[in-house]
């Protein structure tokens, strides 16, 4: 299991060149993850991928922005996977909100079937962008 370097540093891990020390005092640290995805088959697929990952605690799988807001009142994820579904692309608005205080330290991963959303993701300075359909290895790279 591999964490992004910025998340590892914030969590107090030591980063050596390309590798990250994953344990602190001998205990595996969990990364808390939430998912917001309108399309059920992508929600289920992502849930299955994340459930199999050691060191990942899935806090919740939400269908829309309202549900993630309720979840955020109960717990605070380290990383949020946000699906962007054309043509409305509400996920982009949600990603913008997660880049503002008090959520600026949450890592945002945008997922979309539209390659053009990759440029939007870059402009929003999100942590990662994944082109749908989802692939397990690609999701793991985000972690």
To the nearest whole percent, how much of the chain has pLDDT over 90? 24
As given in the structure block, the two tokens for residue 132 are 């749908």
Q: Is the pLDDT of residue 15 over 90?
A: no
How many helices (H) does the chain have, and how many strands (E)?
6, 9
Does residue 54 carry a pLDDT above 70? yes
Q: How many residues does the chain have?
A: 143
At 21, is the pLDDT very low, low, confident or very high (cuts 50, 70, 90)?
very low
Structure confidence at residue 104 (pLDDT): 72
- Report, as an integer, the average pLDDT of 28-48: 90
| H-helix segments, the chain | 5-10, 40-51, 65-74, 90-98, 116-124, 136-142
| Between residues 23 and 73, the one the model is more confident about | 73
Contact in structure between 112 and 86 (CB atoms under 8 Å): yes
SS3 67: helix
Q: 90-109 pLDDT, tens per residue?
A: 788 888 887 776 767 888 89
Q: What is the pLDDT of residue 23?
A: 37
CA angle 56, 57, 61 (to 5 degrees): 115
Q: Are 14 and 3 in contact (CB under 8 A)?
A: no
């Amino acid at each position: 299991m591999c964490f992004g370097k910025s998340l590892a540093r914030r969590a107090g891990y030591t980063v050596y060149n390309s590798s990250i020390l994953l344990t602190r005092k001998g205990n595996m640290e969990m990364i808390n993850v939430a998912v917001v995805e309108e399309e059920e088959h992508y929600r289920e697929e992502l849930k299955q991928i994340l459930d199999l990952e050691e060191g990942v605690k899935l806090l919740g799988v939400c269908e829309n922005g309202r549900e993630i807001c309720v979840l955020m009142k109960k717990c605070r994820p380290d990383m949020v996977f946000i699906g962007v579904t054309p043509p409305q692309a509400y996920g982009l608005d949600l990603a913008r909100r997660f880049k503002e205080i008090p959520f600026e330290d949450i890592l945002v991963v945008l997922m979309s079937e539209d390659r053009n959303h990759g440029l939007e993701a870059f402009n929003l300075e999100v942590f990662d962008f994944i082109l749908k359909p989802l692939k397990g290895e690609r999701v793991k790279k985000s972690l």
